[in-house]
Amino acid sequence: MDENEVIKQIIETIRKDIVSDKKFIMSILAKIELTEDNIPSKLILSLMNKLNAQGQVRMPVSNKPKDFAGTKASKPISVGDGSIESKIVSDLLDGNNVYLMGKAGTGKTYLAETIAEYVMGQPVFMVNCSQWTSPIEIRGGQTIKGYEEGQLIKAWAEGGILILDELPKLDPNTAGLLNAALAKTGSNPVYDEKGDIIESTVPYITNGRGDKIYKGQDAKDKDLRFRFCVIATGNTDMINVGNKYGGNQRQDYSLVDRFAGSFYVINNDPIKEMQLTYPYVFNLCNAMRKYLESKDALQSISLRTMLNFNRTFEQEMLYKIESPFADEIFNNSGEKIAPKTIEDSVNSFLNMLEKNMRDDLDNDQEFRSAKSERAKTQAEDDFRSHFMKKYHLNPRNGDSLTEKEITELDK
Ligand SMILES: Nc1ncnc2c1ncn2[C@@H]1O[C@H](COP(=O)(O)OP(=O)(O)OP(=O)(O)O)[C@@H](O)[C@H]1O
Ligand SMILES: [Mg+2]
Residue 268 pLDDT grade (very low, low, confident, very high; cuts 50, 70, 90): very high
Ligand 2 center to residue 108 CA distance, Å?
A: 6
Query: What does the mean pLDDT of the chain come to?
Result: 87
Closest CA to 142 of 210, 205, 204: 210
Atom of ligand 1 nearest to the CA of 303: 12
User: Which carries the bigger pLDDT value, residue 50 or residue 297?
Assistant: 297
* Ligand 1, pocket-test mutation among 304, 306, 311, most atoms within 8 A of CB: 304
Q: For 299-395, where are the alpha helices, taking DSSP H only?
A: 303-320, 342-350, 355-362, 365-370, 373-391
What is residue 71's predicted lDDT score, i.e. its pLDDT? 41
* Ligand 1, pocket-test mutation among 99, 103, 110, most atoms within 8 A of CB: 110
- Cβ 381 vs Cβ 327: under 8 Å: no
Instruction: Return d(Cα 289, Cα 236) in angstroms, integer.
Output: 20
Q: Whose CA is nearest to atom 28 of ligand 1?
A: 304
Amino acid at 60: P
- Cβ 197 vs Cβ 222: under 8 Å: no
Evaluate if residue 64 carries a pLDDT over 70: no
What percent of the chain stands above pLDDT 90? 63
Q: Check if 109 has its Cβ closer than 6 Å to any atom of ligand 1.
A: yes
What percent of the chain stands above pLDDT 70? 88
Atom of ligand 1 nearest to the CA of 112: 18
What is residue 34's predicted lDDT score, i.e. its pLDDT? 61
* Ligand 1, pocket-test mutation among 78, 109, 275, 391, most atoms within 8 A of CB: 109
Q: Check if 168 has its Cβ closer than 6 Å to any atom of ligand 1.
A: no
Q: Check if 303 has its Cβ closer than 6 Å to any atom of ligand 1.
A: yes
C-alpha 47: how far from its chain's center?
Answer: 32
What is residue 132's predicted lDDT score, i.e. its pLDDT? 94
Ligand 1 center to residue 111 CA distance, Å?
A: 7
What is residue 75's predicted lDDT score, i.e. its pLDDT? 45
DSSP 49-82: HHHT--SSSPPPB----HHHH--S-SSPPP--TT
Question: Which of 3-12, 70-79, 143-152, 337-346 is the least confident region?
Answer: 70-79
β-pair type (146-148, 141-143): antiparallel
Evaluate if residue 111 carries a pLDDT over 60: yes
Ligand closest in space to the Cα of 115: 1
- Helices 279-294, 355-362: inter-axial angle, 10-degree rounding: 130
Domains in the chain, ordered, with CATH?
A: 3-50 (no CATH), 84-265 (3.40.50.300), 270-410 (no CATH)
Q: Whose CA is nearest to atom 10 of ligand 1?
A: 107
- Helices 342-350, 303-320: inter-axial angle, 10-degree rounding: 150
Ligand closest in space to the Cα of 105: 1
Tally of CA atoms within 13 A in the half-sphere of 238 that contains its CB:
27
Residue 76 pLDDT grade (very low, low, confident, very high; cuts 50, 70, 90): very low
Ligand 1 center to residue 303 CA distance, Å?
A: 7
Residue 63 pLDDT grade (very low, low, confident, very high; cuts 50, 70, 90): low
- Cβ 342 vs Cβ 284: under 8 Å: yes
User: If DSSP codes are grouped into helix, strand and coil, which group holds residue 149?
Assistant: coil
Ligand closest in space to the Cα of 101: 1
Ligand 2 center to residue 106 CA distance, Å?
A: 8
Ligand 2 center to residue 280 CA distance, Å?
A: 26
Residue 72 pLDDT grade (very low, low, confident, very high; cuts 50, 70, 90): very low
The model's pTM: 0.80
| Torsion angle (degrees, nearest 10) of CA 223, 260, 207, 133 | -120
C-alpha 182: how far from its chain's center?
Answer: 25
* Ligand 1, pocket-test mutation among 303, 305, 310, most atoms within 8 A of CB: 303
- Output DSSP code: residue 123: -
Ligand 1 center to residue 114 CA distance, Å?
A: 10
Residues 155-170 pLDDT 10s: 999 999 999 999 999 9
β-pair type (336-337, 141-143): unpaired
Ligand 2 center to residue 233 CA distance, Å?
A: 7
